[in-house]
Amino acid sequence: MKLSVPDYILSLKPYVAGKPLEELEREYGITDAVKLASNENPLGPSPLAINAIQQAVKDLHRYPNGGSYYLSERISNYFGIKKENIILGNGSDDIIAMLARVLLQRGDEAVLPRPSFLFYEIMIRSSGAIPVEVPLKDCLTDLSSMLERIGPKTRLIFLTNPHNPTGALIAKPAMDEFVREIPADLVLIIDEAYIEFVREPNCPRSIDYLDSGKIVVGLRTFSKAYGLAGLRIGYGLMPSFLADILNRIRQPFNVNSLAQAAAIAALDDEAFLQDTIELVSDEMNFIYTSLDDRGIEYLKSQANFLLIRVGKDANEVFENLLKQGVIVRSMTSYGYPDCIRVNVGLHDENVRMLEALDKVL
């Protein structure tokens, strides 16, 4: 049977997730593997979030609140903004998909850095639009070149701050100027998945531009610093007129009840968030020092991960580390064939990663 499917859909390459940890252990004959590939929280979820989930389980026969009322209220109070400026999603990916569906048509263009989160390109192309990729410059987002690539067909601009996979931060003066320079009818999406880990005090945040007169969308997630990756929950901060449009096409129950309960509790658990941030900061410094002692190159990062230049084929290093029971991410598909990306784990996990790297290199 032949289906009539647009060419731009058939040309898409699916997002490839890593294999389950248990399957990797079975394949490679290893036990007690250390997973440092997906930028997850090494401390797990907040104890308050776990308790909230346990309390919410008894109501699983009920549909979740379709508008995430109480969570929207909690985020509203957290940022001091109106609920009308907030959209909840099944992960921030859900919001990216909604924005692409609403704002892109066939032949439109979206400007984004290269490399960046692969899902941006998937959603752009799935709308029949064209991704206009601007290479990084010295591993930094090249804002000047991105401005130059804006044309009459441009509808969206994507930035990631801190950037994935480099961990680099766009400085506030540079971001301020970029927002001033973009046309008023474009939508600037700033993905802030790792913003909680930033150690630079003068860090630009999307909410700074909510009333700038430009259409700026900030994407946040509970998957990283808050340790709720398995529940898939994120949110967007944006002008109310755009949030209203997204609400018209949003799935009625796109955020499940356990995720809503856990996210509210996670926002309330400020002590856990601070413990996470301090752990990542301390262990990042430990990894920096350890790599310096070994003479291994790396990029300093404002996120909870870093790029390590291994000086040989990254796929080969990835495979050999797997045999040592350490799971990282090869950056070959991101255009860095001699680099791996490693997220910060617990101290013992980081020591094990470094010892495995010694054997592999």
Q: Model confidence over 143-161: pLDDT tens digits?
A: 999 999 999 999 999 999 9
Place of tokens 């400020």: 270
Q: For residue 164, which of 83, 251, 224 has the smallest C-alpha distance?
A: 224
Give the pLDDT score at 13: 77
Give the pLDDT score at 4: 82
Q: Model confidence over 1-46: pLDDT tens digits?
A: 678 888 878 777 776 666 676 777 777 777 788 999 999 999 999 9
Q: Round the average pLDDT of the chain to a whole number and report it.
A: 94
C-alpha–C-alpha distance, residues 122 and 30, integer Å: 34
Ordered domains of the chain (ranges, CATH)? 18-45+271-360 (3.90.1150.10), 47-268 (3.40.640.10)
Q: Model confidence over 235-270: pLDDT tens digits?
A: 999 999 999 999 999 999 999 999 999 999 999 999
Q: Model confidence over 44-76: pLDDT tens digits?
A: 999 999 999 999 999 999 999 988 999 999 999
Place of tokens 């997002």: 15
Mean pLDDT, to the nearest integer, of 331-357?
A: 96
Give the pLDDT score at 18: 66
One-letter amino acid identity for 57?
V
C-alpha–C-alpha distance, residues 100 and 95, integer Å: 9
Give the pLDDT score at 207: 96
Q: Model confidence over 302-338: pLDDT tens digits?
A: 999 999 999 999 999 999 999 999 999 999 989 999 9
Give the number of other CB atoms < 10 A from CB of residue 238: 26
Inter-residue contact 146 to 157 (CB < 8 Å): yes
The backbone torsions φ and ψ at residue 170, rounded to the nearest 5 degrees and listed phi first, read -80, 125
